[in-house]
């Protein structure tokens, strides 16, 4: 079975004024469908850059990235956006909910950009909210939610297009340990259901529950 994610000697450099800052060098990594992976490393080791590339938010400057067998760097903006919409669900450290929208509308947002027919939106949104135990908060706005609720809303949003892969960036970083554990339970529960879950974290306890830990240092896999 081919890997869902295949990075081959991927490098990423940013221009910073006159000099180039290299964030990733020669990273090769395969992630199988259904696998759970934790990416760890100190700040500045290139974790976020790696996540951005894995999530098709950014293109590598060197090497190849095959997502489900397709070379990503040759895709245009619309194709990359469609990939993000349909294949990838994001969960961020600071939740990144849109504050003026209700929980329901936040969860619905990915559907605006996808191909799911509009009549299915409501049932999908509510199924996802139920799954994370947030159906009763659906008409609240993000500022009214606790951290744990906000992160669960974000997970519901990540699930609404039924993506193959969840990418979580420090999902428990802004939560106390109790709610952090709850959120971690939800995430690893999704992995048990068969989704590929990639978590970028500093948290050893969270990482310990992944099948595999990838450690980054200075832009390389250590």
Partner 1 sequence: MRHRALFRLGLRGLLLHKLRSALSILGVVFGVAAVVAMSSVGEGARREALDQLGALGMDSVTLRARRPAAARSPGALRLRDAESLARVVPHVVATAPVREADLAAEAGSRRADAIAVGTTPDYVLATRLGIAAGRFLAPLDLRDEKRVAVLGASVAAALFPFGPACGERILLGGDWFQVVGVLQGRSSARGRASAIRTRDVNRAVFVPLPALDRGADPRPDGVDEIVMRVDDPTRVAAAAEAAKALVERTGGGAPFDVVVPREILRARERTQRIFNVVTGAIAAISLLVGGIGIMNIMLASVAERTREVGIRRALGATQRDVAAQFLAESSLLTTAGGLLGALLGAAGATLIQQLAGWPTALSPSMLTLALLTAIAVGVGFGSYPAWLAARLAPMEALRHE
Helix axes 121-131, 103-112, angle to 10 degrees: 130
Contact residue for partner 1 among 36, 40, 41, 48 (CB under 8 A):
48
Nearest distance, CB of residue 181 and partner 1, angstroms: 25
Report DSSP letters for 17-63, one per residue.
Answer: TTEEEEEEEEEEEEE-TT-EEEEE--TTSSHHHHHHHHTTSS--SEE
Nearest distance, CB of residue 97 and partner 1, angstroms: 8
Nearer to partner 1, 82 or 213 (CB): 82
Three-point CA angle 83, 91, 206, nearest 5°: 125
Nearer to partner 1, 82 or 127 (CB): 82
- Given the structure tokens 């295949």, which residue do they identify? 6
**CB crowding 157-170: b at 16 or more within 10 Å, else e:** bbbbbebbbbbbbb
Nearer to partner 1, 11 or 55 (CB): 55
Nearest distance, CB of residue 113 and partner 1, angstroms: 4
Contact residue for partner 1 among 58, 64, 68, 218 (CB under 8 A):
58
Asked if 103 contacts 129 with a C-beta cutoff of 8 angstroms, the reply is yes
Residue 114 binds to partner 1 (criterion: CB under 8 A): yes
Nearest distance, CB of residue 208 and partner 1, angstroms: 27
Q: Which stretch binds partner 1 (CB under 8 A): 1-9, 98-106, 122-130, 194-202?
A: 98-106
CA distance 103 to 137: 7
Contact residue for partner 1 among 9, 28, 70, 100 (CB under 8 A):
100
Nearest distance, CB of residue 211 and partner 1, angstroms: 25
């Amino acid at each position: 079975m081919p890997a869902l994610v295949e990075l081959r000697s991927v490098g990423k450099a940013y221009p910073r004024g006159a000099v180039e800052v290299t964030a990733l060098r020669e990273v090769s990594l395969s992630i199988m469908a259904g696998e759970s992976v934790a990416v760890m490393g100190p700040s500045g080791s290139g974790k976020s850059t790696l996540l951005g590339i894995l999530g098709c938010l950014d293109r590598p400057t060197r090497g190849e990235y095959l997502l489900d067998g397709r070379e990503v760097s040759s895709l245009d903006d619309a194709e990359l956006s469609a990939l993000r919409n349909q294949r990838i669900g994001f969960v961020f450290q600071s939740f990144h909910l849109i504050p003026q929208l209700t929980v329901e509308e936040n969860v619905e947002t990915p559907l605006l950009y996808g191909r799911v027919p509009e009549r299915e939106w409501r049932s999908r949104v509510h199924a996802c909210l139920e799954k994370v135990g947030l159906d009763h908060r659906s008409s609240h706005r993000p500022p009214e939610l606790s951290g744990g609720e906000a992160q669960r809303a974000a997970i519901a949003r990540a699930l609404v297009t039924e993506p193959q892969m969840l990418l979580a960036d420090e999902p428990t970083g802004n939560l106390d340990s109790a709610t952090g554990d709850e959120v971690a339970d939800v995430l690893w529960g999704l992995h048990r259901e068969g989704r590929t879950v990639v978590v970028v974290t500093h948290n050893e306890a969270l990482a310990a529950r992944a099948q595999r830990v990838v450690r980054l240092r200075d832009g390389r896999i250590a």
